[in-house]
Every structure is written in structure tokens, then in C-alpha cells.
Structure 1
């Protein structure tokens, strides 16, 4: 494996954690280079035939490397609606106008997808982004396909459509314009208060029961949020977005996601209470998921930011994942299993019931959909 000498410092790993893992820990990227990023590593994608690793060779003549800067490459997509047949999620179609996400959430389960682009699930995922400027045109074309059957489209279930790049690209607003025009239902999940920009469209759609929006809130602790989700909106901004949406008549809810044992699970009740006070009518939760490279990235973050809690957090995660960092089995990947997972679910249910959340699940309207007619509406012959 080729090695490149550069001015980087090793991640400080407690000896107890090294022994617990039984493996050598990777060398982390210096704070100067990764400032404002969630990941501390930038390992090669798993499909790459070669990989480089930054090492400190002990000499003083290191090469100074520049900070990682965000770049956005435009991608001419061929399709925009992604289908799935997963039995444990509530939607069968979704839209992702961006690949990668600048929010930089260290635990993001979408990170491994960047390996398919020949890039790292680490810092590349949050710094080397792809935008699909033809998303709205593709959506209109796909909605006009013969035999298309409308069902709610989920947006924000993989990468966040309201990440910082959306301020200049406005792809999400263009997509909402199409959905509004043809009366197509949509369900949105985001960590960004930027969703307030589109309240005018969302309020119109809400009048026809065509939309709902969930704000994902992981923690109310600003310091922890800044470290774990460095470029997502602050917790109080997300709560304010719930309030703004609710006051505009847009069904707003909260996703307590992900729930991280021994780190954020103590906040379940507080997050639900704050969200209910700001107008949330529904709530859901998802247990922390660590597929593929996400496990290494999250463990590296724990060792850097919360070394004293490392063993406790990982022990509880593995107790809910059959002794592993992650179990991808349907029906268990979102909730986990075992006594601790059951306790989290019970606490969530009791708090939601006490606060009057989820008393009625809103089902979006699919009966108003009007298929786009390219080149104008064709009149009936008779």
C-alpha cells in the first residue's frame, strides 16, 4: 500500500480502547485540514484497487496540506425517482437531488454510497458533492409515464435535500414546483431550517393534504451537535422550523434520529417535549445505524470527541446488534433488539403518548394527481 508523508497527527486513542478493539487505529486528519467536518478519516472507497494512508514519519520537513474545501460537480442524471422494496420502511419511492451531504453528520448511514463514485465515505462524502440540475425535468417526465401510479415520494431519507448547496442550486424548490403543479404527495425529512424558504409552496400543498415535513433532531446539546453534525442547523433552529411549518398549516413532525445509546438516548423525552411545544403532531425514532465504513468513522469520532464514553457506547450498540456494530436484518436495523433496545422503544412510546403525539397518523392524498401532458393536454376524440 503506497504511503504518503504529510503533516498530520495521529488520533489519540486510549490504551484501554485499543485493547478493546484489538486492532491498530487509523491515523486521523489534522484539525486544521478537517475544520468544520464531521469525519476525521478519508479512507479509500472499498472498490478502489489502491489506497494511500497519511503517516507522520517523525521528521520536521512535513508537507503542509490545504484544508478540505467543498466542491459541487453537476451530474446529468438519467432517472430521478428511486424505487425500493424494503419491508421495514413506509415508502416505495424517493428522490435524492444531491449525492453526498455537507452537513457532515459523522454517523450518516448514507456515507458508504460515495464508494460507488470512487470516493471516500469519509471527508469526501461531505466535501465532494454531486448535484442533479435536471432533477425537476426528469421528475416531470417520469410522472407522465403511461401507467404511473401516484404514491407519496420521500425526500431526505438518504442525503439531505436542504443541505447548504441547495441555497444556490434551488433543486428542491424546483422539485416542489413540479409536485405542486401536478398535485403529487411528498414527505420530507431534513436537518435544515432552510426548509422554511419553501413554506409558500408547502402551505399550498398542505391545503390539499399533499405534504408533510419532519425535522430530524438528534440532540438539544449545541456543543455535541456542532461536533457530531457540524454543518446542519442548530437544534433550536430545527425546532423553530417545526413551529414555522406548523403555524403555516404544514403538518410538521420530529424524528429523534439517530438515537445513540449512552450519548443522546437520555434526551428522548426532552426532544419530544420541545418538539410538541413547537407544534409537532407526530414523532418517530431510529436507532443508530453503522453500516460498512460508517462504523470506523463513528468509532474514530468517539475516540476523538468522547474517549471516556467509547467503551460504554460501543458496548451498548453491540448489545442491540447481536454483538456486532451493525445488523442489517429487516425489521431490526431501525430499532435493534434486546433489553436496551426494548427500553428505548418503550420510553419513546410512553413520552409520545403523554404529549399527545401520534394520536392520528396523517395519510397523504393520492387521488388529486394529474399526469403531466408533454406538449399540451390532448383532448378526447369523442
Structure 2
């Protein structure tokens, strides 16, 4: 794993920014004594600004065969996520770019402006098999930089044109900027949204998800999406023992009141570099209960910080997992959720128009 202690930076989630050791990368390059004393000589480093690098992938659809996940193809318009959620399971993916899963993941982002163009090529293939395209599976499609790049909107415009089904996961009310396109698809049962509300406490949310919208804005987004006829599932994931688990019943009641059609949860997962990042975050923000939190997490995960096993990684195991599940099911029933499964249509798909317009 990795460790590189640093002072917590206001507005960012991670308190570490060391390199991953999974690929035998050095924790730090030999750079001479002068870098060790740079802060003493020049003063504290300036606050990190968000940097965006343009990425030009050859393809845009990612295939998935995990038995724990309900979709088999997805699009991620961005790599890295400015929301800075300390628990984000996607953080380790930044190591593939020789970047830190810590602060680099939140500040050194990648955008794929050709995403819609690449998707048009995929959807035009005769061999293409229509299945719901998930967005927001790795990093949030409505993180702050979407305001300027509008890549997610360009993808949605193509999905509207081709009448292709999509499932969008986000924790941002910025999704409302595209409510016209999503509502268009939803009218034909071609779109659904999962919106995450992890805590109702602004103080908790501010450290847990420092650049994600306020919880009340997310509840309002659920209400406005639902009023527009868009089916919304609320996610209260991750549930963090001794940090957010006491809010479970209140969260479920509030998302039901806002109009969500279903609710879901996952106990916190800490794969790869996420575990040391989360431990450092606990030490910074919750030193009074850090040991208790990790003891419960370890109990949930079979004595480890993380359990990667299919079938258990999304649910947890043991007494604590059973307790969370029981509380969730009771609160879900009390809030009036029916458990009805939403199935998006695939029969309305029409391949995109090429250089020649359709004859019919």
C-alpha cells in the first residue's frame, strides 16, 4: 500500500498523496535534501488546483462480467473525481496512471471529449447488442468539471437520438441540467437514475464528500427528477459504522418522502489503497472513534479491512452485517418501498444515422 503523511487540505478529502506500491513504484524518488526542506525555505505549498488532462481512448464502452453488478456495459466520461469522497472504491485506478489514489485522484483529472463520437461508432456496428449503458459506475458523470466539458450531456444527446437505455449514478444535483434529455428517455422507459445521499449531517458530508453537493440539494434533486417522471433509486451507500449508520432510518424516510421509488445500501468497502486513506481520514477527523470504526469494519469484512469476494463484498458478513440488513429492511418497509424491479426497454433502439440519412 502507501503512506505519505501531510496536513489535511481544506476542501479535499484525502490526507495522503503517496504513490501506489502495487506496481512496484517507489514511494518517493531520490531527489536530494533540498526538497525535504522546501517548505521551511519557501513556506507552505499553495492550495492544489484541479487540473484536467484530455484523454483520447480508442473505445469508450467498458464491459463487465461481475455477478455482483446488474449491468454489463458502462461509460465513464472522466477519470478521477473532484468530489473527493474518501471512501471511493475507484481511487486505486489512478495508480495505473502513476498517480496517487490520494489527492491526485481528486485534483488531477482526465476528460474524454470524444466519448459521444466513439459511442456513435460502437452503436453503428452491426454486431452491437443493445443493453443498458450505465454511467457513473467508476467516477461521477456530474462532478464539477461537467459544467464546462458537457461530455455527459453529449452522450445523453446521442442516447436520445438512438432511443438507447441508460442508468445514471450520481451524487450531484448537477444532473438537473440534463433533466430535459433524461425525462425524454424516461417517457419511453429508457432511463433511470440512482442518486446517492450518504448523510443528512452537513458537517459529516463536508469531510466525507468535500466537493459533493449539500445533502438537501440532493434530496431536492430526487424530488425534481421524480416529478419529471424519471424513476429514481436512492443510495445511502456507503454505510459507515459509528459515522453514518445511525442515520439509516432517517435517510430512508427522507428519500422516500422526496419521491424515490427504491432505496439501496452497501456497507463501506476499502479495497487496495482506499484502506490506508480511510484510516488516515479517521485519524484526522474522528480520532476519538477511529479504532472502534475499524474494529467494526474488520468484523464486517471477515477480519480484514476489505473483502473482495463475490457474493459478500457488497453485503458484508457476520453480526454487524446482519444488524445493518435487518435495520435496512425494516426501515425500507416502513417507508413504503415495494421492491418493484424496473426494467428498461431495449426494443426502441435505432442505430445512429451515418453520412447518409435513413431512407425510412
Contact in 1 for aligned 2:63/2:74 (Cα 8 Å): yes
Note closer, same or farther for the CA distance 1:64–1:374 as it changes in structure 2 (3 Å cut). same
**Cross-structure match for 1:74:** 54
SS across alignment from 1:188: strand
**Cross-structure match for 1:43:** 18
Q: State the TM-score, normalizing by the size of structure 2.
A: 0.94
Question: Deviation of residue 343 (structure 1)?
Answer: 1.3
Question: Deviation of residue 66 (structure 1)?
Answer: 2.0
Question: Alignment RMSD, CA only?
Answer: 2.1
Q: Distance in 1 between matches of 2:284 and 2:3?
A: 12
* Length, aligned pairs only: 355
Alignment of 1:34-113 (within 5 A): 34-46=9-21, 47=23, 49-52=25-28, 61=41, 63-113=43-93
Question: Deviation of residue 373 (structure 1)?
Answer: 3.7
Q: Distance in 2 between matches of 1:27 and 1:134?
A: 35
**Cross-structure match for 2:133:** 153
Aligned residue among 114, 120, 123 for 2:94: 114
Contact in 1 for aligned 2:3/2:17 (Cα 8 Å): no
**Cross-structure match for 1:30:** 7
Question: Deviation of residue 45 (structure 1)?
Answer: 2.8
**Cross-structure match for 2:160:** 180
SS across alignment from 1:258: coil
Question: Deviation of residue 227 (structure 1)?
Answer: 0.7
Q: Distance in 2 between matches of 1:146 and 1:346?
A: 47
**Cross-structure match for 1:214:** 194
SS across alignment from 1:242: helix
State the Cα deviation string for residues 161-212 of structure 1 (Å, max 9, x = none).
Answer: 0000000000111000011110111011101000011111111111100001
Q: Distance in 1 between matches of 2:43 and 2:339?
A: 59
Contact in 1 for aligned 2:81/2:109 (Cα 8 Å): yes
Contact in 1 for aligned 2:4/2:17 (Cα 8 Å): no
- Runs (5+) with no aligned partner, structure 2: none
**Cross-structure match for 1:301:** 281
Note closer, same or farther for the CA distance 1:308–1:148 as it changes in structure 2 (3 Å cut). same
Q: Distance in 1 between matches of 2:13 and 2:75?
A: 24
**Cross-structure match for 2:340:** 360
Question: Deviation of residue 27 (structure 1)?
Answer: 5.3
State the Cα deviation string for residues 121-179 of structure 1 (Å, max 9, x = none).
Answer: 00000000000000011111111111211111111111000000000000111000011
Q: Distance in 2 between matches of 1:214 and 1:378?
A: 35
State the Cα deviation string for residues 344-372 of structure 1 (Å, max 9, x = none).
Answer: 11211121112121431211111111122
Q: Distance in 2 between matches of 1:221 and 1:64?
A: 31
Q: Distance in 2 between matches of 1:225 and 1:378?
A: 50
State the Cα deviation string for residues 291-317 of structure 1 (Å, max 9, x = none).
Answer: 010000000000000001111100000
Contact in 1 for aligned 2:199/2:244 (Cα 8 Å): yes
**Cross-structure match for 1:14:** none
- Would you identify which runs of 4 or more consecutive aligned residues in structure 1 move more than 4 Å? 53-57, 59-63, 377-380
Contact in 1 for aligned 2:19/2:25 (Cα 8 Å): no
Aligned residue among 223, 227, 230 for 1:247: 227
Q: Distance in 2 between matches of 1:27 and 1:112?
A: 15
SS across alignment from 1:45: coil
Question: Deviation of residue 35 (structure 1)?
Answer: 2.1
SS across alignment from 2:127: coil
